[in-house]
Amino acid sequence: MLAAYASAISREDPLSGLVIGDRPDPETRDGWTTVSVRAAALNHHDLWSLRGVGLSEKALPMILGCDAAGVDADGNEVVVHSVISSDDWRGDETQDPKRSLLSERHPGTLAERVAVPVRNLIPKPPDLSFEHAACLPTAWLTAYRMLFTRGGVVPGMTVLVQGAGGGVATALTVLGSAAGARMWVTSRSEDKRAMALSLGADQAFEPGARLPERVDAVMETVGEATWAHSVRSLKPGGTLVISGATSGDAPPAELTRVFFLQLSVRGSTMGTREELERLVRFCMEHEIRPQISATHALADATQGFEQMLAGDVLGKIVITV
């Protein structure tokens, strides 16, 4: 079957190890099933994998991709929850020390077919397209958990999102706005700031800009480039939620400010199957559809990877199969 896979790892030139070519069909085992993928989406995770973060040489060749929507063996339209926990794990899948995401230990979703545990499938509402559904399981689920589970965001709060153009960041803006929070964003690009305003952000700023007032919560995925601004933007007692560090993970910690203002710094990773079901319901209730930056056929997936590497994204890059 056709697939996009990592054949080699390179920190400096991640796309040098990307191949679009033939791979064997996935093997299933007890409690697993095969999904015919209709749409998948790219995540920064796929670039990290090609750089060897979370993926070792020993696991190569590895089919990339965490997100998929498709049709299961019984003909049901489904969305795939990408967090694969141990067979005997019960409860919050993101807390399982042995969990992995599709494409880390098991072949990923950028393929004609993907094998997943049956319990990782949730029904896709008929009114949600495969392309939109494929955007939800990683970036949008991460945003949902950051805001509502880890960040405690409630209507009326002011929330700052750093790096407005990315997949997680656009989801944060749309979900937070729909939930009644006042969403402020930063971005390096004027176009991306304008897009964030059109998606529901109340104000958009250049990176590091002085804000009109301090905020209740900050949502971080950028890391080193924005960390100091994030810490300095919080009200006393405010909450900083971090799920990624795209620009680097060793910024000055701003420790004095963290303890003196009694700030909370909370990590967040992906989300549970139950949160994915709630996210799908929330999107349907509020008629929310993920912002799609570009769509490519699987055979042309390299173009999507190039856009992501260049930072040329306004939302999600979708791969159709």
Ligand X SMILES: NC(=O)c1ccc[n+]([C@@H]2O[C@H](COP(=O)([O-])OP(=O)(O)OC[C@H]3O[C@@H](n4cnc5c(N)ncnc54)[C@H](OP(=O)(O)O)[C@@H]3O)[C@@H](O)[C@H]2O)c1
43 binding ligand X? (CB under 6 A):
yes
For ligand X, the binding residues in 207-236 under the rule CB under 6 A are: 221-222, 225
- Three-class DSSP category at 65: coil
List the one residue from 68, 111, 136, 169 that touches ligand X (CB under 6 A). 169
Contacts of 59 (CB under 8 A, 6+ apart): 104, 105
The CB-of-317 to ligand X minimum distance in angstroms stands at 8
**DSSP, residue by residue, 214-281:** -EEEEEESS-TTTHHHHHHTEEEEEEEEE---TT-S-----HHHHHHTT-EEEE--S--HHHHHHHHH
For residue 267, the cross-strand partners are 242
Q: Applying CB under 6 A, which of residues 109, 120, 142, 291 lies at the interface with ligand X? A: 142
136 touching ligand X, by CB under 6 A: no
Separation between Cα atoms, residue 229 and residue 231, nearest integer Å: 6
In the complex, least distance from residue 239 CB atom to ligand X, rounded to whole angstroms? 17
Is 224 within 8 Å of 251 (Cβ atoms)?
yes
244 sits near ligand X (criterion: CB under 6 A): yes
Query: Which of 297, 294, 296, 299 shows the shortest CA–CA distance to 316?
Result: 294
Residue 107 or 163: the one with the smaller Cβ distance to ligand X is 163
173 makes contact with ligand X (CB under 6 A):
no
Binding-site member from 137, 165, 290, 304 for ligand X (CB under 6 A): 165
Phi and psi (nearest 5°) for 101? -100, 150
Q: Would the CA dihedral through 265, 53, 229, 202 be positive or negative? A: negative
Among 70, 167, 176, 238, binds ligand X (CB under 6 A): 167
Part of the chain binding ligand X (CB under 6 A), chosen from 74-82, 107-115, 159-167, 251-259:
159-167
Cβ 318 to ligand X, closest distance in Å?
12
Determine, following the binding rule CB under 6 A, whether residue 81 of this chain makes contact with ligand X.
no
Q: How far is the CB of 41 from ligand X (least distance, A)?
A: 9
- Smallest CA-to-CA distance from 114 within 26, 239, 9, 15 is with 26
Examine residue 314 and tell whether it contacts ligand X (CB under 6 A): no
| DSSP structural state of residue 115 | E
Instruction: List interacting residues with ligand X (CB under 6 A).
Output: 43-45, 48, 138-139, 142, 163-169, 187-189, 192, 221-222, 225, 243-247, 269-270, 308, 311, 313
